Amino acid sequence: MNRLKLTLQTVALIFLFGAFSINAFAKMQVVKLVTEYHVNPIGIDVQKPRLGWQLLSDEENVMQTAYEIRVAGSITGLSKKSKQIWNSGKTESDKSVNVAYEGAAIKSMQRVYWQVRVWDNKTGKASRWSEPAFWETGILEPRLWTAEWITLPKEKVTKGSKPAQYFRKQFSTSKKIKSARLYATSLGLYFAYINGEKMSDQLFTPGWTSYNKRLQYQVYDVTSMLKKENVLGAIVGDGWYHGNIGFGGQHAYYGDKTALLMQLKIDYVDGSTETVVTDKNWKGSTGPILESDIYNGEVYDARLENEGWNKPDFNNDNWEKVKTLNHSKQLLVASMGDKVKAIEQIKPIKQITTPKGEMVFDMGQNMVGWVRVKLKGEKGDVVKIKFAEVLDREGNFYTANLRSAKATETYTFKDNKEVVFEPHFTFHGFRFVLFEGLKKAPNLDDVTGVVIHSDMKPTGTFSCSEPLINQLQHNIQWGQKGNFLDVPTDCPQRDERLGWTGDAQVFSMTAAYNFDVAAFYTKWVKDIVVDQLPNGKIPHVIPDVLNGAGGATGWADVVAIIPWSVYRVYGDKRILETSYPAITKWVGYMANRAGNDYLWTGDPHFGDWLAFASTRSDYQGATTDKDLIATAYFYYTTTLASKIAAIIGKQQDAIKYNELAKKVKDAFVDEFVTSNGRLVSNTQTAYALALAFGLLPDNLVEKAAKYFTDDVTKFKHLTTGFLGTPLLCKTLSAVGRDDLAFMLLNRKEYPSWLYPVTQGATTIWERWDGQKPDGTFQAVGMNSFNHYAYGAIGEWLYSYVAGINIDVETPGYKHILLSPHSGGGLDSVSATFKSMYGEIKSAWKIDKNGEFIYTVEVPANTTATVTLPGAYVGSLDINSEKISDGLKSKATQNDNNLTLKIGSGRYQFKYPFEVR
């Protein structure tokens, strides 16, 4: 008994001290390890990937002082010096984001594991090692691709959509498998299968790139999917490669034939390797997918199904031997963007019978994807499923704004059994779904909206005391989800859906508040760079399917603006380095077009696209001179080139571009600005550009600001288009007119951000009056109801109203600027942002006693500067206590604002406040 008692006491002590030890370490944890913005990526081709991690601590003012990274070929090897591939050693640094691997080159198709531990400013001791993470390389050398491109032998070159191709290969494995990887891509879109199971939940593979210059492949871990007898199968549809894309019925822009490339590498426990590749020994056929077009939809005839075609016991005697296709493998690159997936599902809110007798379902949300539906009919019956964003004034199904896009699924029954149908290689932008050919409407539960987009992780939330603004934020986020499908498209529904560069650049900062777009933009910027023309011109759309049309001011500047946004938000210096040659080529193009007078004049541009136009007799519309806009952007992008050059260590270039920018600025002032600060285009956009870009001399800023604010006061509404709108409220705030900025935000009549909300919008519209108050629509030629550009107001909501901002001197939110602003009748605002270091919170409210209560959270390994409006040291409480002497010493009083320097932690500031 005594021995048992002693044993129990020992166990208790071990448990106690073990718990104490764990708790001691719990004060500092290293978590959320990422490699090139991904968690445990498989199949990357970055030779020196960047690593990142976050610190978790229950203490305040925590900073990392050093780190140590170790890398090995196995988890067990991490703790053995002799097995490590690289060890950084204890490195004195507070850097925990984008830390480059500096070890020996990793071979193709190799997995390596890594861990990190850190030291902090509190204990000076090392943390526990993090949980292991890994990355795995893809096929880094083209010569290692032994697979051949395959296609069907009798495939006809057609102008329209053609049947999807089905491919299969049966093979055996006889030994115990250690690991297996499938490397796959296609000319067109593909789904891959092993033994009847879909390889992954990824959609629209291999993604959309400039296929004639960069073609992505995917890597799948299929170790657990293999058996003794196996079938590797795939379906290939038209997609962007061979389907309709661009304008004027343009088809097969990249090539006449669809094809498949697959390479399965099997590593056995005994050390041997086997490879199964696409070659002439595969079998192929067509099947039930008769047409699969992104614009027009899918035609599916279930009578042509080959049941079990992707399983081992299928008889493929009637299938043809495939033909190999001579297509380059030098263009193959690993996929590093965010995967397109089915992210969520929504149910219809009601079923409608329209005045025309149409069977329509209302999904309650303008969404992008398709519907999955239970259907029942007789053999040979045909059902059509059509998609629309809106109903017309009479309540009927409306598709005129889709232009030539059919946006229709056609399904033919093979028997009278109930089926569940969803398409394969198409997507639609819609809220309303129409069924034709059914004798009875499906139940609401039988229809499911499948929402698809790139799997960007949500990072931002914004809410306030005004429900209409909350709906606006909802619309902004849904507009982004609907249009960020591997590339940032302008719209998701009509016969366009292209990567318009102007839309993307004006929205880039709002996008980065809402979602983690680091990997998404990194992938897309690579296509901007490769699609740049030899003379420096940037195409209007990326990937370029408009045959090189480009060079438009405010659009082509995307080549500098999005890398700059990624640098600011994520501290990513490498994207500046890789984009820099293209940025300077674009600046060179603008300089050549401008000539010796430094004014870019005479070229065609889109200008301030879709700016407000009025029928009022005293106002002919807000047309801003395109030469003024072009010269303004010439200056702005040249200043970015100078800043970027300095950041990446090209000091002489920095000086050169700074001098060029000064000359452009002088020319701009001489040409477009009077001595009284009035611009030749007396529009809100002209003033917003000149003031926001810093184009005016100091002595004219105040005068120009008055012309600007007078115009807003005169019309009491915005008059801006795609280029002016993103700058409007932030520029009004910068010149001290928050009252006007909030007035514009709160306006509910056309034109305004809230007008579409009052009309029931659930996404951002392309036009300020896409739907007019009387229920009629704008011109059908250009009237998308899901077009994110005007949603760029989101940046001002996050950065100014909520007050979460970036210190560009320490990018990536390493040092955070927290500066909330009240106004517009709002009495509360709350925003969060998940930075690379952790979550930032900024929430303020004005209570019934007239006190301003501001709550902030600052993640570990960062610092912040907090600016409190209307605060004074003597009246300030922090965390329910008077301000400490330590914080007082860090406080700065500036007019009626109080500025404080703080470290990581959670703070609540409270003080009497006078509503302005």
Question: According to the model, what pLDDT value does residue 353 have?
Answer: 97
- Asked whether the predicted pLDDT for residue 791 surpasses 70, the reply is yes
Residues recognised as catalytic: 496, 766
Q: How much is the pLDDT for 885?
A: 75
Inform me whether the pLDDT recorded for 21 exceeds 60: no
The predicted model gives 564-582 an average pLDDT of: 98
Cα separation of 667 and 646, whole Å?
A: 24
* Confidence grade of residue 159 (pLDDT, cut at 50, 70, 90): low
pLDDT in tens, 683-693: 999 999 999 99
CA-based nearest residue to 747, from 772, 773, 717, 768 = 717
Q: Name the region of 781 (left: φ>0; alpha: ψ -120 to 50; beta: rest).
A: alpha
Task: Say if residues 29 and 128 touch (Cβ distance below 8 Å).
Answer: yes
Could you tell me the pLDDT band of residue 4, with boundaries at 50, 70 and 90? very low
> Does 157 score more than 80 pLDDT?
no
Using the predicted structure, report yes or no on whether residue 620 has a pLDDT greater than 60. Answer: no
The mean pLDDT value for 133-155 works out to 95
Percent of the chain with pLDDT over 90: 91
**pLDDT tens across 834-886, in order?**
999 999 999 999 999 999 999 999 999 999 999 999 998 888 998 877 777 77
pLDDT of residue 884: 75
What's the pLDDT tens digit per position in 691-734?
Answer: 999 999 999 999 999 999 999 999 999 999 999 999 999 999 99
Report helix angle 651-672 to 626-647, nearest 10: 160
Q: How does residue 907 score in pLDDT terms, banded at 50, 70 and 90? A: very high
Cis peptide before 543 (omega within 30 of 0): yes
Count of CB atoms situated within 10 Å of the CB of 388: 25
> Which 8-state DSSP code applies to residue 908?
E
Place of tokens 């003597």: 874
- The tens digit of pLDDT for each residue in 84-101 reads 999 999 999 999 999 999
Q: pLDDT value at position 794?
A: 98
The mean pLDDT value for 656-683 works out to 98
Pairing, β 332-334 against β 215-221:
parallel
**What is the strand order of the sheet 892-894 is part of?**
804-806, 815-818, 863-869, 897-902, 892-894
Confidence of residue 755 (pLDDT cuts 50, 70, 90): very high
Q: How far apart are alpha carbons 418 and 354 in whole angstroms?
A: 26
Token pair for residue 680? 């030749």
Q: How many Å apart are CA 554 and CA 605, to the nearest integer? A: 9
pLDDT, tens digit, for every residue of 23-74?
444 478 999 999 999 999 999 999 999 999 999 999 999 999 999 999 999 9
Query: For 491-510, how does the pLDDT look when each residue is reduced to its tens digit (9 = 90+)?
Result: 999 999 999 999 999 999 99
What average pLDDT does the segment 311-337 reach? 96
Mean pLDDT along residues 208-227: 98
Give percent above pLDDT 70 in the chain: 96
The 10s digit of each residue's pLDDT in 366-412 is 999 999 999 999 999 999 999 999 999 999 999 999 999 999 999 99
Residue 883 DSSP class: P
- Is it the case that residue 147 has pLDDT exceeding 80? yes
pLDDT band of residue 635 (cuts 50, 70, 90) is very high
Query: CA nearest 646: which of 583, 694, 576, 586?
Result: 576
Q: Which tokens belong to 277?
A: 């590749």
Cβ-in-10-Å burial (0-12, 13-18, 19+) of 328 comes to exposed
CB 260 within 8 A of CB 190: yes
Q: How many CA atoms within 13 Å lie on the side-chain side of 208?
A: 28
Which pLDDT belongs to residue 420? 98
Question: In the prediction, which pLDDT does 621 show?
Answer: 56
In 3D space, the residue among 909, 899, 911, 912 whose CA is nearest the CA of residue 857 turns out to be 909
Alpha helices in 683-821 (DSSP H): 684-692, 698-715, 725-734, 738-746, 754-758, 793-796
In the structure, what pLDDT confidence band is assigned to residue 10 with cuts at 50, 70 and 90?
very low
pTM: 0.95
The answer to whether 242 touches 152, Cβ cutoff 8 Å, is no
How many residues belong to the chain?
A: 916
- pLDDT of amino acid 156: 62
**Burial level of 903, CB count in 10 A (0-12/13-18/19+)?**
middle
